[in-house]
Amino acid sequence: MIEFRKVSKEYRNGTKAVTNVDFKVEKGEFVFIVGSSGAGKSTLLKLITHEENPSSGELIVNNMDISTLKKRQIPYFRRTMGIVFQDFRLIPKMNVFDNVAFAMRVVCASEKAIASRVPYVLELVNLKDKLKYYPAELSGGEQQRVGLARALVNNPDLIIADEPTGNVDPSLSFEIIDLLNKINSYGTTILMVTHEHNLALKFRKRTIKIEDGEIISDSIWEELKNEA
């Protein structure tokens, strides 16, 4: 589903954020990406969502070499994925319901489908009593959960989540990962950046660790190595 082939990303100011990264994620996997601040985690996700372009190497997403995507194809490409942004990116002038409904409106869902689906996903993230609130009236953790609901609402094949538990307390973190785990068990591929190594360990999922833009460990690979 996702394959990095010797991918590097150097930003315009010369920062080398990702260097020579090689890995593959199969359909249906759940992968944690961990590493310290500035390690290159968000950059890695932005390459997958085509928010940034690789400086070199090849990146295949859904059997497509994404460097060949035309500008006009990018919105369609992104609609196949649910993206949870580290900085939320909610629309300030829309209330919680409409922020989530917006993701369904852009794919031309019927108002009837929106009226039943949006409250359902907002209930999944424990926000069904805040449908009418505006982003500025919510805590950071609540805004983050609206972002998560928006990523889930169209039932995407792939969820890319950048620190979806970055602003919530430990019990809620657990619930959010548990929810993603359930969604994964129905077949959705999940890539999630987290600082919470303990939680990542608890869920026993494949964990890729990056440091200074390079992969320094990949738990699946390590396990295979230990078995050999």
Ligand X SMILES: Nc1ncnc2c1ncn2[C@@H]1O[C@H](COP(=O)(O)OP(=O)(O)OP(=O)(O)O)[C@@H](O)[C@H]1O
Point out which residues bind ligand X (CB under 6 A): 11, 13, 15, 17, 35, 37-43, 86
Given Mg ion, ligand X, none, residue 39, with its beta carbon under 5 to 8 Å by kind, binds: ligand X
Q: Smaller CB distance to Mg ion: residue 86 or 184? A: 86
CA torsion through residues 224, 202, 185, 144, sign: negative
Euclidean distance between CA atoms 205 and 32, whole angstroms: 7
What's the min distance (Å) between Cβ of 115 and Mg ion? 35
What's the min distance (Å) between Cβ of 52 and ligand X? 8
Residue ranges binding Mg ion (CB under 5 A): 42, 86
Neighbours of 214 (CB within 10 A): 16
What's the min distance (Å) between Cβ of 176 and ligand X? 17
Looking at beta carbons, which residue is closest to Mg ion? 42
Question: Do residues 147 and 89 lie in contact, with contact meaning Cβ atoms separated by under 8 Å?
Answer: yes
Residue with tokens 């792939």: 158
Bridging pattern class, strands 30-34 and 189-193: parallel
User: What does DSSP assign to residue 85?
Assistant: -
Given Mg ion, ligand X, none, residue 140, with its beta carbon under 5 to 8 Å by kind, binds: none
Euclidean distance between CA atoms 97 and 118, whole angstroms: 7
Q: Smaller CB distance to Mg ion: residue 127 or 193? A: 193
Given Mg ion, ligand X, none, residue 67, with its beta carbon under 5 to 8 Å by kind, binds: none
Q: Smaller CB distance to Mg ion: residue 153 or 190? A: 190
